[in-house]
Structure 1
Amino acid sequence: MNTVVVAGSDGCLLVDPGVHTDELATLAAEIRERFGRCVLAVSSHPHWDHLLWSTGLGEVPRLASGRGCEFLAEPGRLSACRAEAVAEVPDCDAALLGVVSSLRDEGRSGRIEWGGPRVEFVVHDGHAPGHLGLFVPGDGVLIAGDMCSDDEVPLLDLAARDPLGDYWDGLNKLARLAGDRCEVLVPGHGGVACGGAEIRARFGRDRAYLDSLAAGGPVADARLGEGAPGWLVAEHEAAMAWSVRRKSSG
């Protein structure tokens, strides 16, 4: 998973800290050495791998979107996230997972309030409820969360009322947030995209996938080719089955 650190004058802002215990320990040491301390953290969305934390990172405000916090507050959600985390990372500090509070996002867009460089955000429900997209205009960096990956096809939230519509909305909001200012795109998983041509290609591949999915297939996407992980293929097959059912019932 990709972690983003935004340097400020009195510490740093941390987005999606990481997954494995040794990664978090290394990250904490590097932050102390290079930035002094972490002063604020943001989870891009309420999935377990974006909600982990370590005591080494300090006791700092940890934020998520209002909708993301509401989702985690639903009965059984947080305990399920913690169980998933322990199953994948047995030595994680499950008690610290998901200890987040809501940022001020009533308008579903705005600016992170902190003492460092300007960080803008939008909220959408593509992939997960209350998914945040963040943009650092001073550096031209778009932090996309689990969107626009070169490794993963769009992963829809099939429990939502309108999974395709939500994902389309998310892509469009990310594109509007950064506009022509974007020079670097950081997805939650996969490689970083640099330069306008590569960034536009990322959006284009995701849009083409959604178009094919909406049509009920076929889907021609290199991310599902030979060597694709089984879990990703299974997610795609579930989305395709959902799309076929949707078309047949509509």
Structure 2
Amino acid sequence: MNLEGNFNTKGSRWSMDCFSALMVIAFLILSPFRAAAQEFEDGSSFTASLLNIEAPVNETFRYQATLTNNSDEARVYQLSAEMPEGWRVVFKARGSQITSLNVEGGRTESLTIEIRPAYGAAPAKYPVSVQARAANKTLTLALEAVVEGSYELELTTPTGRLSGEITEGEKAEILLQVKNMGSLALNDITFSSQTPPNWQATFSPSEIQQLNPGETKDVIATLSVPDKTLAGDYVSKFTAKNTPSTSTATFRMTVKTSMLSGWVGILVILLAIGFVFYLIRKFGRR
């Protein structure tokens, strides 16, 4: 009996020790949540309908959020955000851009959070922490912006100049540049043209198999102008495209008449004047 009593006593003490240890562990685990809960003790909250948005780097991430003030008095919430370097944020409410928002006691206000990634941000998941501060308290909204890769193609010239001169009946070589301004590789880029009637345009190379992000390649467009084209300005459009992207460069070409055509014209005029003079002398005597 004594042995059984000692065993029960030791078992009870072991159970009490385990219970005490579990209570300590539970307290340590739950204490951070209790500390955080003190910040929301009046029931105020900062929420969003979507916490994670996925979009290309050249688009704006828009989050629809609500700010609830469950206190008995009005509060002016100062809005801010912690984002990666180079990113921008804009807060909008009631149709206007804001940096703070006045919320009456017991009321809820809606606002839009617009986040613009930095130019060239790599495809990845980026955390964005948005804060609303009022009355020495901070409501925090944890958002995620998932940047997708982007396709962006640009067709231009090395100098940016999109005009030139050409003599009728001749050919002109125009140096174009194809640039990959996106974050993903561009494949199977082809070229086409829209020219005045009877004009012709060819490209060398006629196709680019692959253009990596940030890479630039030269393309020569050869423009042929037919004979007897009237002098003046003419517009041609050159287009580079693949499946996800397209870019067009509008090129203005000034056509001039050739020297031979000019001399032929002068000769025709002189002959006409000579013929008129001959007629005057011949028939004038009669």
Would you call these one fold, judging by a TM-score over 0.5?
Answer: no
Could you say which structure has the larger radius of gyration? 2
Q: Kindly indicate which of the two structures has a greater share of residues assigned to strand.
A: 2
Q: Kindly indicate which of the two structures has a greater share of residues assigned to helix.
A: 1
TM-score scaled to structure 1, two decimals? 0.24
